Amino acid sequence: MPQPTELERVKLFLYVHFERVLVVGLVVSLLLIHWFVDYKIAFLSFYYLPIIIAGFFLGRKAAVMAAVFIVALVYFFQAVQGLEGAPGLDSSMLLALVPWGGFLILTGYVVGSLADQRQHRLNDLKNAYVAVLELLTYHLESSEKAHRGHSHRVAKLTVLLGKELGLRQEELENVRVAALLHEVGPRDPRLLRLLSEFPGAFKELPVAGAMRGAFDILQEYEKYYDVVGDDWPIDHLSFAMATKILAVADSFETLQMPTPLRPAFAPWTAIDELEKASGKSFAAEVVQALRKVSAAPSRAEREDPELSLLKADSA
């Protein structure tokens, strides 16, 4: 599986630590302006750009806080060393700084409010998109009584495992959609036929394209069991964490369904079966997370109830 490039790692770092990078960038830019620019007042308009970016990506609260922070720094520099001329907050300097600071904070408030409204509408679209997928998969599974609701249970479990393992919100959404579609598959003719009956406007929703990462997970999952095993342990392969989570959740739920050859496994017995292949067919850290989120006792705890009591007391 392809490893992320250096550029992708940098983009991920900036995405995860955007607020810290923004604060450091604001402080560094103010210091550079103070040290190298003669007409500092004219360069204060530069801060509208990072405040607009903060409002767009972080929302109203973060944008207003960033604006207040930079205004406070500018006032501090003027009071201590002076931006132009003598230090201090005299009336002439306040006439220049107060309107600038007020408009900067107002810019953060307005842009952040618009971004929050946009994100709220996008979340509504995502919820509607996933709800339609849930209805479709449940309808497609309804013909097989033994499998009815299987995809929904797998989807719920993948989200719990993803949160336990620190997946980002976008990754949680992708693995949830992948879990909903893992039985029928994105190219299943029944699913394609049902989708073709929906209005064209639904199929053109931008959120549907934004969640195409789920199909990348499914493509990896299709060849998962052709690759992993005793010869190629999963812990030594570069499958995406979302794919590893889907494999564990799917197997855990499948073991709890009866087949003509065996009865249904109890949850703790199913986990024991997965632990036998931990590190080989199933990622060890995902199996450990499964034990934690399911709150199922280990085999040793079931054999010795005192261990469970000690574990509960330590928690």
At 30-46, the pLDDT tens digits run 777 767 766 777 778 88
Q: pLDDT-derived band of residue 190, with 50, 70 and 90 as boundaries? A: low
**Does the pLDDT at position 314 exceed 90?**
no
In whole angstroms, give the CA distance from residue 243 to residue 220: 7
pLDDT at 181: 81
**Does the pLDDT at position 54 exceed 80?**
yes
**Does the pLDDT at position 250 exceed 90?**
yes
Q: pLDDT-derived band of residue 157, with 50, 70 and 90 as boundaries? A: very high
pLDDT at 117: 92
pLDDT at 297: 55
pLDDT at 310: 40
- State mean pLDDT over 122-146: 67
**Does the pLDDT at position 296 exceed 80?**
no
In whole angstroms, give the CA distance from residue 28 to residue 258: 62
Where do you find CATH 1.10.3210.10 in the chain?
A: 142-303
Q: Please identify which residue in the block is written with the tokens 């009865």.
A: 263
Is the domain spanning 142-303 CATH 1.10.3210.10? The answer is yes
**Does the pLDDT at position 293 exceed 80?**
yes
pLDDT at 58: 86
Query: Measured on CA atoms in the order 13, 14, 16, 19, is the torsion positive or negative?
Result: positive
- State mean pLDDT over 302-314: 45
Q: Which residue has the higher pLDDT, 132 or 237?
A: 237
**Does the pLDDT at position 184 exceed 80?**
no
- State mean pLDDT over 178-187: 74
| 19-23, 42-46, 155-159, 294-298: least confidently modelled range | 294-298
pLDDT at 289: 93
pLDDT at 123: 77
3-state DSSP percent of the chain in helix, strand and coil, to 5: 75, 0, 25
Q: pLDDT-derived band of residue 188, with 50, 70 and 90 as boundaries? A: low
Q: pLDDT-derived band of residue 203, with 50, 70 and 90 as boundaries? A: very low
pTM of the complete model:
0.61
Highest mean pLDDT among 154-163, 169-178, 287-296: 154-163
pLDDT at 147: 63
∠ CA 82-45-75 to the nearest 5 degrees? Answer: 30
Mean pLDDT over each residue of the chain, to the nearest integer: 77
Contact assessment for residue 217 and residue 242, using Cβ atoms and an 8 Å cutoff: yes
pLDDT at 110: 95
**Does the pLDDT at position 27 exceed 60?**
yes
Q: Which residues, in sequence order, are CB contacts of 179 under 8 Å at separation 6+?
A: 151, 154, 155, 157, 158, 246, 249, 250
| 92-106, 197-211, 282-296: least confidently modelled range | 197-211
Q: Which residue has the higher pLDDT, 82 or 114?
A: 114
Element (H, E) at 183: none
